[in-house]
Chain A
Amino acid sequence: MSDAVVITETRTLPYSFTLPVIGAAGAFFGIFVGAAQGSTLMGIIGGAVICAAIAWLALQVFGTDQEKTFRWAIVAVAAVAGFLLGGLPGLVVGALFGWFIGWFTYWIGRSRYRAFLPPYLTGGQVLWHYSFRVLCGAIFVFLITPILVVMPLSFNAENFFTFTPEMLSFDPEGYSLRHYRDFFTSNDWQQALWNSVKIAPMATLLAVSFGTLAAIGLSSEHVPFRRAIMAILISPMIVPLIISAAGMYFFYSRIGLQGTYLGVVLAHAALGIPFVIITVTATLVGFDRSLTRAAANLGADPITTFFRVQMPLILPGVISGGLFAFITSFDEVVVVIFVGSANQQTLPWQMFTGLREQISPTILAVATILVAISIALLSTVEILRRRSEKMRGMSPS
């Protein structure tokens, strides 16, 4: 947004608007400070008065010329006040609050909030515009917080699932790598990791090789019973996992596959197939068939055509389908619990048992590692998607 054009002139708004608004924001923050210190009412009044005073100082005494100096001063004062009230965590919160209130004062007081909006909007529309963004921001916070909270907690020095006072005061004693050490030295976890590493790639290989062939077949123009075939191939994604797991458990124990490595690999491959089919058929939608005809015309046999012409073009789709299949198998827990035996205990299974029975923060260390892996996979898929769209001549959205 920094490169957006300023389309509405900013101006200093009257105090009758600025002071109450900033005072209200101060009162809101005052609630928390006051409640923590024992008197909510005092917090509200104090917060409102202090913030209104800051606003008056900013707009009347310092103005825009000394904006930077003044904002740093507020940050410093708020940080010190926070430290006095609540120690090190208070310092961080105070500094953040100081930064926010400084920015907010100028943003409101100089009507900067209108800068990137059309000049004809009414006040209500502007208010709605920003409330909507705040609402969306809150939803994004809801989406991302649980994942972010896990990471610092995994460095907890204690066997707790929450922040200890030492962690909050940034005491190095409060942090340690012991849960990571646990993970890398415990036999159970290492066995589970090894099982996951053995199962997921095999399942992915099966799903990708069968799935790619079938997707190529499905994309040709004349396929009899296309809908029915598609419905069958997609069904592992639609049928609830518990039903797949129950069915596979009954059936695989009839034919002696229950509790074997092969059984788990087959089950996971079946679950990954829909993802391969969907991504590869999506890639094939933009595939230019005259290329294979040209290759055939130039004397290439179908296998050469496939590997030299078609495959390189659909490769991004195949790889991202493979990644989907991989993550499906790597994350899968319901089916493996039923189809596998103790010898096939995978990482998610171990986490599931851990969460249900003996709770140990080692799980959080594993979770952090898995988040790192998923970030890596997500970036790969995004890059591949863009590459594929570029290769097929679509503009990346």
Chain B
Amino acid sequence: MTDATSDPDKIEAPTPDNALRAADAADGPMLAADGTPLKKSLNRALRAQKLRALLLIAPLLIFVLLTFIAPIVDMLFRSVENQIVSETLPRTTRALADFDAGTGEIPGEPVYEAAYYDIFLASERKEHTRLGSRLNYEQTGASSLFRRSGRGLDDIGEVYQDQFEDLDENWDEAEPWAEMMGSPEWLNAQRGWTEEDGAMPEFELREGVAEVLPKTAEFYEIFARFTQVEDEDSPLEEEPWSMVHTALYQDLAAGDVSGYDGPHAEMLQAADELVDSPDFETVSFTDGFEEVDEDWADPEIWNTIKMYAPPYTTGYFLNAVDMEKTVDGPQLRDEDERIYGLLFKRTMFMSMVITFSCIALGYPVAYLLSNLPARSANLLMILVLLPFWTSLLVRTSAWKVMLQQQGVINDVLVWLGLVADDSRLVMINNQFGTIVAMTHILLPFMILPMYSVMSTIPPSFVRAARSLGATNWTAFWRVYFPQSVPGIGAGSILVFILSIGYYITPEIVGGTTGTFISNRIAYHISSSLNWGLAAALGTILLVVVLVLYWAYDRIVGIDNVKLGG
């Protein structure tokens, strides 16, 4: 111990003592052991600590963001997303821009022309039925209209196709078309292509053809690429769709092809002459559409398409609150079509009834548990915790067993003679069943928070009130009850949040009158496939729950959630 090096005053290395001494000597800021100012050093340590905490949290945060928050955000997005119309009918959407919906008139020929090409392409891609079912949510009958039109629109093109074919067989052959439209390099590559080469050489337009025959070139290119990629056939072997013939007619009628000097120039010249001759039979797109289905001559379908053309829509949300888009802006639906308002109201009402019955049943039990000696309270607590831990499906099936007409309760009542055998009580597949089963299922969620609040209330308060002359009731109502209110609040919000989004129990014991909004959401996801509406309903429900969650956080604090007593 007498060794000089163990004497703190003799050590030269940075020690706390030396640092303090140095700080005194320098008369500057206080220094840490390594000579940096203490404040800076502490800040650095704090930063390191923060960083460490964040690094520990980061994996989970990223996990939750990816697996949980992203799906929720995606659902919010889906509730307004509406790209299907503008993606499937791009030309029509553009042509409809000038169309004035609500005048009761049908749009002009250009719109029908655009719609002809769009629907024709969509039906080749098998997308027209999807669009039809999308529009069917807004206008009944749209689905079958699009299905019929996908087949029927061939008739327009066949008028031209037949006439060109009568003039020259080559118009119905694949090879001449390809030679006329494709670039020589592509033709060579395509001719030399075999199965083993893998992907086919991508179709290229011949230089100059797009100036002479703009529409024909545009649609032939789409046809050729589609044939190559989707059907995996060579455009050299497949004659083009009748739509291309329609485009050819339009080009020939609109312009002069005398400047064309590519392959098959004489064939094209002959066709041009044919088109110009008075005998050539034509059909306007408007008439053609009307031929396919009379509904196309009704402005309603055009109004609907125009209304749902933008890539984002409020339509799903309007639907979810029983409104619909009309040409005069959003309006309430007819009285007999309003179902979601009713469902939301019913969900709210039933959740409130469930919450109140949980308070009524939970309060006495929580009071008893918190006023009994610890041993008996723990024993009784098991009776609360056992249902809490039992599978939800078990409890729901138990209630199905209990409440059925041939179930345990009815059997006991009949056995006791309280109910006649032929007039058994109907207690399931209605609101009563849902309320009873859900009260039972959610009761532990009410009792546990109430219990944890009530066990902190000192019994001496009530005794003091009694000794000061309060009656039993006054002592309870004025002294005990106000202190237990936080427990009621915590339990109620928890139960309400849980019950408002319940799905399984109402589905099994609710029948038709005891179902919640969540059952409707599930129906739209799995049966009607109206995902946008499901997402909109879900979003509204989510907002309600988040507001309650915020209130819960304010009143109780999320950190104070306790599980299992």
Nearest first, the 8 closest Cβ-Cβ pairs linking A and B are A240-B501, A217-B56, A35-B417, A247-B71, A146-B398, A251-B71, A214-B60, A242-B518
Q: Which residues of B contact A144 (CB under 8 A)?
A: 383, 386-387
Q: Which of A162, A351, A382 lies in contact with B397, CB distance below 8 A?
A: A351
* A266-286 to B contact mask, C-beta < 8 Å, 1/0: 110110010100110110000
Q: Which residues of A contact B541 (CB under 8 A)?
A: 240, 242-243
For residue B481, give the distance in angstroms from its CB to the closest CB of chain A: 15
Q: Which of A149, A330, A352, A381 lies in contact with B504, CB distance below 8 A?
A: A352
Q: Which residues of A contact B46 (CB under 8 A)?
A: 222
Q: List 23 A-B contacts (CB under 8 A).
A: A1-B376, A142-B361, A143-B387, A146-B395, A146-B398, A146-B401, A146-B402, A147-B387, A147-B390, A147-B395, A214-B56, A221-B49, A223-B50, A242-B503, A243-B501, A246-B521, A247-B74, A249-B525, A252-B71, A331-B393, A356-B508, A370-B391, A371-B391
Q: Measured between alpha carbons, how far is A198 from B564 in the docked complex, in Å?
A: 26
Complex contact A254–B74 (CB within 8 A): yes
Chain B residue at smallest Cβ distance from A267? B67
* A235-266 to B contact mask, C-beta < 8 Å, 1/0: 11011111111111111101000000000001
Complex contact A238–B549 (CB within 8 A): yes
Range class of the A interface residue count:
35 or more
Q: Which of B59, B60, B531 has the most CB of A within 10 A?
A: B60
Known: A35-B418, A146-B395. A250 touches B74 (CB 8 A): yes
Q: Measured between alpha carbons, how far is A298 from B194 in the docked complex, in Å?
A: 75
Chain A, range 119-174, C-beta contacts under 8 Å to B: 125, 128, 132-133, 135-136, 139-140, 142-147, 149-150, 153, 160-163
Complex contact B75–A247 (CB within 8 A): yes
Q: Measured between alpha carbons, how far is A34 from B63 in the docked complex, in Å?
A: 65
Complex contact B393–A333 (CB within 8 A): yes
Q: Which of B65, B397, B472 lies in contact with A363, CB distance below 8 A?
A: B397
Q: Which residues of B contact A145 (CB under 8 A)?
A: 402
Known: A132-B368, A364-B401. A239 touches B72 (CB 8 A): yes
Complex contact A223–B53 (CB within 8 A): yes
Q: Measured between alpha carbons, how far is A132 from B472 in the docked complex, in Å?
A: 14
Complex contact A214–B57 (CB within 8 A): yes
Contact surface of A with B, Cβ cutoff 8 Å? 1, 32, 34-38, 40, 125, 128, 132-133, 135-136, 139-140, 142-147, 149-150, 153, 160-163, 206, 210-211, 213-214, 216-218, 220-224, 229-236, 238-252, 254, 266-267, 269-270, 273, 275, 278-279, 281-282, 320, 324, 327, 330-331, 333-334, 338, 348, 351-352, 355-356, 363-364, 367, 370-371, 374-375, 377-378, 381-382, 385, 397
Q: Measured between alpha carbons, how far is A143 from B368 in the docked complex, in Å?
A: 15
Known: A247-B75, A370-B390. A220 touches B400 (CB 8 A): no
Complex contact A241–B389 (CB within 8 A): no
Chain A residue at smallest Cβ distance from B499? A240
Q: Measured between alpha carbons, how far is A168 from B364 in the docked complex, in Å?
A: 34
Complex contact A162–B361 (CB within 8 A): no
Known: A146-B402, A240-B545. A269 touches B503 (CB 8 A): no
For residue A58, give the distance in angstroms from its CB to the closest CB of chain B: 27
Main secondary structure, interface of B, reads helix
Complex contact B402–A149 (CB within 8 A): yes
Q: Which residues of A contact B468 (CB under 8 A)?
A: none
B448 within 8 A of A: no
Q: Which residues of A contact B501 (CB under 8 A)?
A: 239-243
Chain B residue at smallest Cβ distance from A268? B67
Q: Measured between alpha carbons, how far is A147 from B394 in the docked complex, in Å?
A: 8
Q: Measured between alpha carbons, how far is A254 from B346 in the docked complex, in Å?
A: 33
Q: Which residues of A contact B393 (CB under 8 A)?
A: 331, 333, 348, 351-352, 355, 367, 370
Complex contact B401–A162 (CB within 8 A): yes
Q: Which residues of B contact A244 (CB under 8 A)?
A: 68, 71-72
Q: Which of B383, B390, B444, B534 has the most CB of A within 10 A?
A: B390
Q: Which residues of B contact A242 (CB under 8 A)?
A: 501, 503, 518, 521-522, 538, 541
Q: Which residues of A contact B56 (CB under 8 A)?
A: 213-214, 216-217
For residue B101, give the distance in angstroms from its CB to the closest CB of chain A: 31
Complex contact B392–A333 (CB within 8 A): yes
For residue B1, give the distance in angstroms from its CB to the closest CB of chain A: 23
Complex contact B404–A161 (CB within 8 A): yes
Q: Which of B504, B508, B538 lies in contact with A247, CB distance below 8 A?
A: B538
Q: Which residues of B contact A231 (CB under 8 A)?
A: 553, 558
Q: Which residues of B contact A40 (CB under 8 A)?
A: 417
* B515-549 to A contact mask, C-beta < 8 Å, 1/0: 00010011001100001001100100110011001
Complex contact B411–A163 (CB within 8 A): yes
Complex contact B397–A248 (CB within 8 A): no
Complex contact A136–B508 (CB within 8 A): no
Complex contact A374–B386 (CB within 8 A): yes
Q: Which residues of A contact B332 (CB under 8 A)?
A: none
Known: A214-B56, A243-B541, A324-B563. A238 touches B72 (CB 8 A): no
For residue A164, give the distance in angstroms from its CB to the closest CB of chain B: 10
Chain A residue at smallest Cβ distance from B410? A162
Q: Which of B64, B364, B380, B503 lies in contact with A236, CB distance below 8 A?
A: B64
Complex contact B522–A149 (CB within 8 A): no
Complex contact A217–B57 (CB within 8 A): yes
Q: Measured between alpha carbons, how far is A320 from B385 in the docked complex, in Å?
A: 14
Complex contact A146–B57 (CB within 8 A): no
Q: Which of A210, A282, A378 lies in contact with B382, CB distance below 8 A?
A: A378
Known: A236-B68, A371-B394, A385-B564. A36 touches B417 (CB 8 A): yes
Complex contact B407–A161 (CB within 8 A): yes
Contact surface of B with A, Cβ cutoff 8 Å? 46, 49-50, 52-57, 59-61, 63-65, 67-72, 74-75, 78, 361, 364-365, 368, 374, 376, 378, 380, 382-387, 389-402, 404, 406-408, 411, 415-418, 440, 443-444, 455, 472, 497-498, 500-504, 507-508, 518, 521-522, 525-526, 531, 534-535, 538, 541-542, 545-546, 549, 553, 558-559, 561-565
Q: Which of A136, A218, A221 lies in contact with B364, CB distance below 8 A?
A: A136
Complex contact A36–B398 (CB within 8 A): no
Q: Measured between alpha carbons, how far is A294 from B402 in the docked complex, in Å?
A: 59
Q: Which residues of B contact A282 (CB under 8 A)?
A: 562
Complex contact A125–B472 (CB within 8 A): yes
Q: Which of B361, B407, B563, B564 lies in contact with A139, CB distance below 8 A?
A: B361
Known: A235-B69, A240-B500. A161 touches B406 (CB 8 A): yes
Known: A162-B408, A242-B501, A367-B394. A223 touches B54 (CB 8 A): yes
Complex contact B53–A220 (CB within 8 A): yes
Q: Which residues of A contact B57 (CB under 8 A)?
A: 213-214, 217-218, 223, 229
Complex contact A153–B401 (CB within 8 A): yes
For residue B417, give the distance in angstroms from its CB to the closest CB of chain A: 3
Complex contact A143–B71 (CB within 8 A): no
Complex contact A375–B68 (CB within 8 A): no
For residue A241, give the distance in angstroms from its CB to the closest CB of chain B: 6
Q: Which residues of B contact A143 (CB under 8 A)?
A: 383-384, 387, 440, 443-444
Chain B residue at smallest Cβ distance from A279? B563
Complex contact B504–A333 (CB within 8 A): yes
Q: Measured between alpha carbons, how far is A40 from B502 in the docked complex, in Å?
A: 43
Q: Measured between alpha carbons, how far is A132 from B549 in the docked complex, in Å?
A: 34
Q: Measured between alpha carbons, how far is A389 from B203 in the docked complex, in Å?
A: 75
Q: Measured between alpha carbons, how far is A314 from B406 in the docked complex, in Å?
A: 50
Q: Measured between alpha carbons, how far is A238 from B508 in the docked complex, in Å?
A: 23
Complex contact B59–A214 (CB within 8 A): yes
For residue B363, give the distance in angstroms from its CB to the closest CB of chain A: 10
Complex contact B389–A377 (CB within 8 A): yes
Complex contact A220–B52 (CB within 8 A): yes
For residue B547, give the distance in angstroms from its CB to the closest CB of chain A: 11
Q: Which of B70, B391, B418 lies in contact with A251, CB distance below 8 A?
A: B70
Q: Which residues of A contact B521 (CB under 8 A)?
A: 242-243, 246
For residue B511, give the distance in angstroms from its CB to the closest CB of chain A: 12
Chain B residue at smallest Cβ distance from A221? B49
Q: Measured between alpha carbons, how far is A266 from B64 in the docked complex, in Å?
A: 9
Chain A residue at smallest Cβ distance from B72? A247
Complex contact A217–B497 (CB within 8 A): no
Sample of 11 further A-B pairs with CB below 8 A, known A162-B411, A239-B501: A140-B380, A143-B443, A224-B54, A232-B61, A243-B72, A246-B521, A247-B74, A247-B75, A270-B63, A330-B391, A331-B391
